[in-house]
Copies of this chain bind each other. A is one copy, B any other.
């Protein structure tokens, strides 16, 4: 058995070096590979299958709210990018520029889209004439490019996959409602599908999206106590509409500007799954996004009837995503490999089990083992997957609660920063200057002004001026 654990032993432990543990898991669980293209990765089958499950389930939730999918070009002419001034300032320093097509130099440079607000505006400008054309609630699944200097698999790469929703509405109220609605779709998806609890709130002026009137965010806490921004939803008001001239004729025949929103989630979510649920044996996948939910491992598989029974069991469990590992590796190696890959349930079946009409079912998250009669196994597996999904959420929530601290003054704040990890809830005066000072002194940034506000004190935790908002602070990815 010792030899079979080699796969696992090569992982750095989380406690020793979390960053190295993360990289080890990403590679050992076969999620990605590095490439000759600096800052870009290959998403391998085990990683991409997770993304497919995210995409399918998130897309279905979008469609329930009336979202329609479209596809816009990957290139943005430089003049188009420059139309909204905050937006271009935010993105121009980090885009990739196409200057030549075939053998010829282009008359105008094109950037590879870092996000598509400007393209959607250019499109909507032609599409929208009257109030009858509103709302437009479009989304696209695509890849985007941001020329990051330091990159890490899933968390920050020069190219990543995402969805970007872009909507146009007749009124400011409708736009605000859609912005919040999509944030809630994201939050529910994280909690119900990824088993990751999130804090819902608004970004400060400093942290909001380039060109937005308001940015809302969901913030999750990773196992190491750092925060990860996991999805954002922006209300643009009519700023882009004015820059691009997107107007419609209202019912009473007046020319009005539309109000717009955008919202996005990315392959970064796979990083969140790893860092929230993973352990020192590797990845732990929530059943709802596990490409393989149940792996059947035949024991003594050369004995007559074992592989047949395993195949029969697979058919019986066809309501789930199930596979049989009938490779010629020995069972110990298989167990370690499946743990590394985070497969929720392992079912061991050998000659003695078959004789007793049972199998051994092992949970990835807790390691709990139970013998299950083959007559009942289908429903037991279903229940275990549901329980595991819920337990993983509860565990992550307990971890976040244990790592969310309250500071009412600066001494408390710095004490927590020094001795603990996680979120710090504290009052804030609302000034960017103060927010920047806190970040400079402690490394903790404002994660969000949560929708659920509490009054912890009357004064700002840093400057002592009257407090305006309770904020979640934290060090972040």
Contact = CB atoms under 8 A, between A and B. Distances in A.
B122 A35 contact: yes
Contacts of A40: 73-75
Interface in A22-61: 33, 35-37, 40-45, 48-49, 51-52
Q: Point out which of A36, A72, A138, A147 has the most chain B C-beta atoms below 10 A from its C-beta.
A: A36
A126 to B, nearest CB: 6
Q: Point out which of A51, A74, A138 has the most chain B C-beta atoms below 10 A from its C-beta.
A: A74
A135 to B, nearest CB: 13
A159 interface: yes
Nearest to A104: B147
A97 B95 contact: no
Given A93-B103, A112-B112, A48 B36 contact: no
Interface string A150-162: 0000000011010
A292 B132 CA distance: 21
Contact of A68 (B45, B71, B73, B75): B45
Interface string A171-206: 000000000000000000000000000000000000
A33 B101 contact: no
Contacts of A123: 33, 35, 42
Nearest to A95: B102
A268 to B, nearest CB: 14
Contact of A71 (B48, B70, B71, B100): B48
Interface in A212-235: none
A76 B49 CA distance: 24
A387 interface: no
Size band of the interface chain A makes with B: 35 or more
A234 B153 CA distance: 32
A127 interface: yes
A324 interface: no
A66 to B, nearest CB: 11
Contact of A145 (B42, B74, B100): B74
A233 B37 CA distance: 27
B138 A33 contact: no
Contacts of A158: 101
A408 interface: no
A45 B69 contact: yes
Nearest to A122: B36
A30 to B, nearest CB: 10
Interface of A: 33, 35-37, 40-45, 48-49, 51-52, 68-77, 80, 93-103, 110, 112, 119, 122-123, 126-127, 138, 142-143, 145, 147, 158-159, 161
6 contacts: A43-B70, A48-B70, A48-B71, A51-B71, A74-B143, A99-B100
Given A35-B73, A44-B70, A71-B143, 16 more contacts: A37-B77, A37-B110, A43-B70, A45-B68, A45-B70, A48-B71, A73-B159, A74-B145, A75-B96, A96-B100, A96-B102, A96-B110, A97-B101, A99-B100, A101-B147, A101-B158
Closest 9 CB pairs of A and B: A40-B73, A45-B68, A101-B147, A97-B100, A43-B71, A102-B147, A37-B73, A99-B99, A96-B98
